């Protein structure tokens, strides 16, 4: 399957594995790239040393193109009173797991736009594709990346973001529909401006900008890939579909949830990290849903969420772990990434052939 994206990325099939921080391992990314797609690594939770190590590990496993993803959020306006109040909200849960409540919340993740060490690693290692979430790189960083030949892409969740990305010099965009798992890529509040489904968003973006569009959100099999291509996308990005793969970094409980009935119920929530993200509903999502207006923002909320998740895990419960998943998570399948890639390609070709036959009739 040849499209503008396969030519732009120098890959054989227009399937991109989403850069899921903590779940997308070098082994997973290498397997997808070696199978002809585009493997990705998510560095939203990594420092420069960790990024360097992961890139070098990936390069030992493949000589194919890959995607390095970074977060480009604005620095938050801190509210100490709100942060202290949120810790009080978490305290009964921490007490339940015999863990000490943190004394303060920290800004645990730095934006790529503000981290010169991260930029230097990228300039030294030269990943062929660099992608961005929550916004756009600064013009200076865009110029620096393009100077070594990087292909740049960014996530968009509405038409205005897509037009801004094209104007900023992005080479392609990822149109992230409302169905997608994990963090929404919406740049500014109100976040509801990004509540557009994949089926509506992709043709809107394709119609408005000239650069290639990658569809993301609710795509789990060949039927979904064929549908995205029919909507005008040049490629698809799948995240949830790759989480049960043997090469992913997902804990066993996460995989079990995806392969069972729990996958049928996902929800967009801010209580885990402070930004809207779609996850499987567990106790964390369910019991703090009504307190969403009280979260102190990203990434401070995430700092508290990680502390609670670790305390619960130490007592053997996954009910406070962030299990990011899209609305079609119930279609999850467990297999090696290379086998999944083969199956996705086969299903897509079969679906496209079936559609051609239907049109003839």
Predicted TM-score (pTM) above 0.95? yes
- Long-range CB contacts (< 8 A, 24+ apart) of 48-54? 48/115, 48/117, 48/118, 48/120, 48/121, 51/118, 51/121, 51/122, 52/121, 52/124, 52/125, 54/26
HSE, CB side, 13 Å, CA atoms: give it for residue 229: 22
**Alpha carbons 120 and 47: distance in angstroms, whole number:** 12
Where exactly does CATH 3.20.20.70 map onto the chain?
1-75+111-259
C-alpha to C-alpha distance for 302 and 324, rounded to whole angstroms: 14
DSSP 42: E
Residue 360 in tokens: 């003839």
- Tell me which CATH code domain 1-75+111-259 carries: 3.20.20.70
pLDDT tens per residue across span 144-200:
999 999 999 999 999 999 999 999 999 999 999 999 999 999 998 888 988 999 999
DSSP codes joined into one string, 280-306: E--HHHHHHGGGGGG---TTHHHHHHH
Give 361's pLDDT tier (boundaries 50, 70, 90).
low
Beta bridge partners of 182: 278
Number of alpha helices (DSSP H) and beta strands (DSSP E) in the chain: 13, 11
**Pairing of β 172-176 and β 129-133:** unpaired
Kindly report, residue by residue over 108-141, the tens digit of the pLDDT: 999 999 999 999 999 999 999 999 999 999 999 9
Cβ atoms of 56 and 30 within 8 Å: the answer is no
Residue 264 confidence (pLDDT) above 90: yes
What is the spatial distance between Cα 221 and Cα 206, in angstroms, rounded to a whole number? 22
Q: Is the pLDDT of residue 256 over 80?
A: yes
* 180: CB partners within 8 A, 6+ apart: 198, 216, 217, 218, 239, 278, 326
Cα–Cα distances in angstroms (integers) from residue 215 to residues 2, 124, 127, 175, 299, in the given order: 16, 30, 22, 5, 27
Strand, coil or helix: 96 = helix
């Amino acid at each position: 399957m040849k499209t503008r994206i396969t030519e732009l990325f120098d890959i054989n099939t227009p399937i991109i594995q989403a850069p899921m921080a903590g779940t997308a391992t070098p082994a997973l990314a290498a397997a997808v790239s070696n199978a002809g797609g585009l493997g990705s690594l998510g560095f939203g939770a990594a420092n420069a040393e960790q990024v360097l190590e992961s890139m070098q590990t990936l390069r030992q496993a493949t000589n194919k193109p890959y995607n390095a993803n970074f977060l480009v959020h604005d620095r938050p306006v801190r509210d100490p009173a709100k942060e202290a109040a949120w810790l009080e909200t978490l305290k009964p849960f921490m007490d339940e797991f015999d863990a000490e409540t943190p004394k303060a919340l920290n800004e645990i993740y730095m934006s790529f736009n503000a981290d010169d060490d991260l930029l230097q690693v990228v300039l030294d290692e030269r990943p062929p594709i660099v992608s961005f979430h929550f916004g756009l790189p600064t013009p200076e960083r865009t110029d620096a990346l393009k100077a070594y030949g990087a292909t740049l892409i960014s996530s968009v969740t509405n038409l205005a973001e897509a037009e801004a990305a094209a104007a900023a010099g992005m080479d392609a965009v990822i149109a992230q529909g409302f169905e997608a798992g994990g963090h929404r890529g919406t740049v500014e509040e109100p976040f509801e401006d990004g509540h557009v489904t994949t089926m509506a968003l992709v043709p809107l973006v394709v119609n408005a900008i000239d650069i290639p569009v990658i569809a993301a959100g609710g795509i789990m099999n060949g039927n979904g890939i064929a549908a995205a291509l029919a909507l005008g996308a040049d490629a698809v990005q799948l995240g949830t579909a790759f989480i049960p793969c043997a090469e992913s970094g997902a804990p066993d409980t996460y995989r079990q949830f995806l392969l069972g009935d729990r996958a049928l119920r996902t929800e967009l929530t801010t209580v885990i990290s402070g930004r809207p993200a779609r996850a499987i509903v567990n106790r964390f999502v369910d019991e703090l849903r009504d307190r969403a207006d009280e979260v102190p923002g990203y990434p401070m909320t995430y700092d508290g969420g990680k502390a609670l998740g670790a305390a619960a895990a130490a007592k053997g419960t996954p009910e406070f772990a962030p299990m990011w998943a899209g609305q079609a998570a119930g279609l999850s399948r467990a297999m090696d990434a290379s086998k999944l890639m083969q199956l996705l390609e086969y299903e897509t070709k079969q679906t496209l052939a079936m559609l051609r036959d239907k049109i003839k009739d």
